């Protein structure tokens, strides 16, 4: 996707423990849920943080039983 084709969501604010909420439409589009693993990378120019799902999930025992 070219830079001019990007649809931005937010702004979002980091919490005191450096967490941020991912917009629901993005979670749904990528089929992500609690426990989904993500990877982070800094772009070469240092202007973007890139996030991508690993395709794996780390669900707790309680979350597995709830399903």
At residue 53, does pLDDT exceed 70? yes
Q: How confident is the model at residue 67 (pLDDT cuts 50, 70, 90)?
A: low
Closest CA to 32 of 21, 46, 17: 21
- Name the DSSP letter for residue 4: G
Contact 34, 58 (CB under 8 A): no
pTM: 0.69
**Which secondary structure element, helix H or strand E, spans residue 26, and what is its range?**
helix 24-29
Q: Given this model, what pLDDT does residue 59 score?
A: 72
At residue 63, does pLDDT exceed 90? no
Q: For residue 48, give its domain range.
A: 3-66
In the chain, the number of structural domains is: 1
Question: Residues 7-33: pLDDT tens digits?
Answer: 999 999 999 999 999 999 999 999 999
């Amino acid at each position: 996707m070219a830079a001019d084709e990007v649809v931005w969501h937010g702004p979002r604010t980091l919490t005191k423990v450096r967490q941020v909420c991912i917009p629901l439409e993005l979670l749904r589009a990528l089929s992500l849920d609690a426990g989904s693993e993500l990877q982070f990378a800094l772009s070469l120019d240092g202007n973007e943080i890139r996030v991508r799902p690993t395709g794996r999930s780390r669900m707790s025992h309680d979350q597995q039983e709830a399903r």
